[in-house]
């Protein structure tokens, strides 16, 4: 499984669709969960009710059977006591009539047996009288029951009737009777519980049908209630999406005074507050942009006058005394920096106003790098750094704005010279099917993780006590980041204290082309610790009020 946009992508097929539907539909989850809980409750209730009904029917029927069996035993004993038979055949005939007469007498009797008691010592014997030979099966007439009857009294036992007799549950009741001449015999009467079983089955069928109807009703009601409750939530979600898209006048329709209405009113109050704050912030941003642009433009006129006066003083500085000559040189240097700062402020204001555009042409990135290195060479020579360019050995063409890309590389080079501690600076150019890249690596002081998080902020400095030796304005890296975003590319920074720093510029070879893999790695090899890494790309948005630059 893979994760895309915060959601898990399951394998295709019906199982994946079911899982996806389950994950994305709260109404479905609530409805199914409610039905499952209802099923569990009904199953538990049905089990309790069925056991209660079964036990009640059985106990009532058992008591009736025991009473009926006792009555039949007394009646049989009375007939035997009143008989005048005094021979074995006469007694057997009398007993046979009694057993045969038990069939069809009602009360659920399905069989009767008259068996000689194991402890009887009379010399007169009669045949065992059994209404149905299948009743002699050990599952019907057990040895435990015969032993209990032989000990005296009336005893009963639950049984399962043979399938040949219709099957089903039953009860067998046994007791002793005394026959003339023959002596003690065991009388067993077998009763069927088929009627009670049919009654229980009918009750369970009715309960099952009622449970099914109840579950359908429960599921339908839950679905409708969930629809009713979640409809305002979905409306709030759609309104929130419209608010996120910039439709600040989006509001929810509020009906009634229930919890959903309270949610709607709270949402509308939040939307009004957000709209008011965003409009105020937008207006403030427009005023700030206009102020920066107006001030930058207005300063150009007095700056031109000051520049003309400064050039006159600078041209005649040899005729001045040493203190005045030094002042003229400092004035010239600071005017150059001031002009560069004004130019950077104007460029930043164009980015903020969305007025910056590209002048694209197909160029070899190696030529742009060579031009930037040529311009930065005097500065590198004064600082004692050497610049080495590593190319891929083949053209690195792409559709770029040469002026902006040249500015990015020059800013990265100036930054590397500023912090390179007079150590070598390596520039690597790479290319693949989708992108071109430049990595500028110095071996100077490096950056801490905290510094790496702010390296592209405007006017920011890692060490405020450290003076700029190259006369930078503090806006170079910020402008470079904006230039990279304007191309649809990325500008990333890596740093480790004592290991130097690296900046990687990645640009798509064609406008709108998706960069699958950068041509060059950002992190250098054989670095002892995990680097601090900061990425800047088209999706990043700089803080307008932050101060940035390394």
> Order of strands across the sheet with 183-192?
129-130, 109-116, 183-192, 169-179, 155-160
Tokens found for residue 382: 């004064």
- Give the count of alpha carbons within 13 A of 310, CB side only: 18
Residue 436: predicted pLDDT: 94
CA-wise closest residue to 468 among 422, 424, 425, 415: 415
Residue 461: predicted pLDDT: 65
Print pLDDT tens along the chain (550 aa): 444 444 444 455 777 787 877 877 777 888 888 888 888 888 898 889 889 988 999 999 999 999 999 999 999 888 888 888 778 888 888 888 888 877 656 678 888 899 999 888 888 888 888 888 888 888 888 989 999 999 889 999 999 888 877 788 999 999 999 988 888 999 999 998 988 888 888 988 998 898 889 888 888 888 888 777 777 777 888 888 888 887 777 887 787 787 778 878 888 888 888 888 888 887 877 777 677 667 766 777 787 788 788 888 878 888 888 888 888 888 888 877 777 777 776 777 666 666 677 888 999 999 999 999 999 998 999 889 999 999 998 999 999 999 989 989 999 999 899 888 889 999 999 999 999 999 999 998 888 777 777 788 877 765 554 545 554 556 778 888 888 888 899 999 998 888 889 999 999 999 888 888 899 998 877 544 444 343 344 333 333 233 233 4
Q: Where are the alpha helices (DSSP H) in 254-320?
A: 259-315
Residue 368: predicted pLDDT: 93
Residue 472: predicted pLDDT: 54
Residue 247: predicted pLDDT: 79
Residue 534: predicted pLDDT: 39
Domain boundaries, the chain: 84-194, 260-351, 357-536
Phi and psi, residue 468, nearest 5°: -80, 125
Put residue 260 in one of left, alpha, beta given phi > 0 → left and psi -120 to 50 → alpha.
Answer: alpha
Q: Are residues 193 and 65 in contact, defined by beta-carbon separation less than 8 angstroms?
A: no
Q: Are residues 154 and 70 in contact, defined by beta-carbon separation less than 8 angstroms?
A: yes
Residue 527: predicted pLDDT: 43
Q: Using CA atoms, how far apart are residues 402 and 380, in angstroms rounded to an integer? A: 22
- DSSP 8-class letter at 430: E
Fold of the 260-351 domain: Helix Hairpins (1.10.287)
Residue 547: predicted pLDDT: 27
Tokens found for residue 267: 């949402």
Residue 529: predicted pLDDT: 43
Q: Using CA atoms, how far apart are residues 153 and 393, in angstroms rounded to an integer? A: 113
H or E element that contains 67: helix 26-82
CATH 3.30.450.20 matches 84-194: yes
Q: How far is residue 374 from each of residues 94, 370, 379, 415, measured CA to CA in Å?
A: 137, 6, 10, 16
Tokens found for residue 63: 């008591």
- DSSP 8-class letter at 526: S
Do 84-194 and 260-351 have matching folds?
no
Q: Are residues 69 and 112 in contact, defined by beta-carbon separation less than 8 angstroms?
A: no
CATH class assigned to 357-536: alpha beta
Q: Using CA atoms, how far apart are residues 182 and 126, in angstroms rounded to an integer? A: 7
Q: Where are the alpha helices (DSSP H) in 384-429?
A: 402-419
What is the 3-state secondary structure of 303-315?
A: HHHHHHHHHHHHH
Beta carbons within 10 angstroms of residue 332's beta carbon:
16
Please write down the long-range contacts of 306-313, taking CB distance under 8 Å and 24 or more positions apart: 306/335, 307/335, 307/339, 310/335
CA-wise closest residue to 160 among 169, 151, 150, 172: 169
Give the burial class of 1: count Cβ atoms within 10 A of its Cβ; 0-12 exposed, 13-18 middle, 19 or more buried.
exposed
- What is the CA 310 to chain-centroid distance, rounded? 67
Residue 88: predicted pLDDT: 80
Q: Please, what's the b/e burial string for 349-365 (b: 16 or more CB within 10 A of its CB; e: otherwise)?
A: bebbeeebeeeeeebbb
Beta carbons within 10 angstroms of residue 403's beta carbon:
11
Tokens found for residue 525: 């090899």
- What is the CA 362 to chain-centroid distance, rounded? 46
Q: Using CA atoms, how far apart are residues 310 and 226, in angstroms rounded to an integer? A: 78
Q: Are residues 417 and 499 in contact, defined by beta-carbon separation less than 8 angstroms?
A: no
Q: Using CA atoms, how far apart are residues 466 and 89, in angstroms rounded to an integer? A: 135
User: Per this entry, what is the length of the chain?
Assistant: 550
Q: Using CA atoms, how far apart are residues 227 and 223, in angstroms rounded to an integer? A: 6
> Which residues make beta-bridge pairs with 198?
none
Q: Using CA atoms, how far apart are residues 287 and 279, in angstroms rounded to an integer? A: 12
- Give the count of alpha carbons within 13 A of 101, CB side only: 10
CA-wise closest residue to 173 among 120, 118, 135: 135
């Amino acid at each position: 499984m893979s994760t895309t946009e915060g959601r898990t992508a399951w394998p295709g097929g019906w199982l994946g669709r079911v899982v996806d539907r389950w994950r994305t539909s709260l109404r479905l989850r609530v409805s199914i969960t409610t039905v499952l809980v209802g099923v569990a409750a009904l199953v538990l209730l049905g089990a309790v009710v069925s056991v209660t009904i079964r036990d009640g029917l059985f106990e009532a029927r058992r008591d009736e059977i025991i009473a009926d069996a006792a009555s039949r035993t007394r009646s049989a004993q009375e007939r035997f006591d009143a008989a005048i038979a005094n021979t074995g055949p006469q007694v057997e005939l009398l007993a046979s009539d009694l057993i045969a007469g038990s069939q069809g007498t009602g009360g659920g009797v399905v069989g009767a047996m008259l068996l000689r008691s194991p402890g009887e010592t009379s010399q007169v014997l009669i045949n065992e009288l059994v209404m149905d030979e299948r009743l002699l099966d050990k599952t019907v007439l057990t040895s435990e029951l015969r032993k209990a009857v032989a000990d005296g009294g009336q005893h009963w036992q639950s049984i399962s009737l043979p399938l040949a007799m219709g099957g089903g549950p039953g009860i067998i009741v046994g007791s002793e009777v005394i026959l003339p001449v023959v002596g003690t015999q065991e009388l067993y009467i077998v009763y069927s519980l088929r009627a009670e079983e049919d009654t229980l089955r009918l009750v369970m069928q009715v309960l099952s049908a009622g449970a099914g109807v109840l579950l359908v009703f429960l599921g339908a009601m839950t679905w409708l209630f969930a629809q009713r409750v979640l409809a305002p939530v979905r409306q709030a979600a759609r309104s929130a999406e419209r608010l996120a898209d910039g439709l600040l006048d989006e509001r929810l329709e509020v009906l009634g005074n229930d919890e959903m209405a309270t949610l709607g009113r709270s949402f509308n109050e939040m939307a009004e507050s957000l709209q008011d704050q965003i409009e105020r912030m937008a207006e403030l941003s427009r005023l700030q942009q206009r102020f920066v642009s107006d001030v930058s433009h207005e300063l150009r006129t007095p700056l031109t006058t000051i520049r003309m006066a400064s050039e006159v003083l600078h041209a005649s500085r040899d005729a001045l005394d040493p203190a005045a000559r030094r002042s003229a040189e400092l004035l010239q240097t600071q005017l150059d920096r001031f002009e560069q700062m004004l130019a950077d402020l104007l460029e930043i204001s164009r980015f903020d106003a969305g007025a910056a555009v590209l002048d694209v042409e197909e160029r070899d990135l190696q030529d742009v790098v060579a031009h930037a290195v040529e311009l930065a060479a005097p500065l590198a020579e004064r600082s004692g750094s050497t610049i080495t360019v590593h190319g891929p050995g083949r053209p690195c063409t792409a559709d770029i704005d040469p002026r902006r890309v040249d500015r990015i590389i020059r800013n990265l080079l100036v930054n590397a010279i500023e912090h390179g501690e007079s150590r070598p600076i390596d520039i690597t150019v790479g290319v693949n099917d989708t992108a071109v890249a430049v990595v500028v690596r110095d071996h100077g002081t490096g950056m801490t993780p905290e510094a790496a998080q702010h390296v592209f902020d405007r006017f920011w400095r890692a060490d405020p006590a450290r003076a700029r030796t190259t006369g930078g304005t503090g806006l170079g890296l910020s402008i470079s980041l904006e230039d990279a975003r304007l191309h649809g590319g990325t500008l990333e920074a890596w740093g480790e204290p004592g290991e130097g720093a690296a900046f990687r510029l990645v640009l798509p070879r064609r406008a709108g082309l998706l960069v699958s893999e950068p041509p060059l790695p950002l992190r250098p090899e054989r670095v002892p610790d995990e680097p601090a890494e900061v990425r800047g790309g088209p999706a990043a948005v700089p803080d307008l009020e932050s101060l940035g630059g390394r």
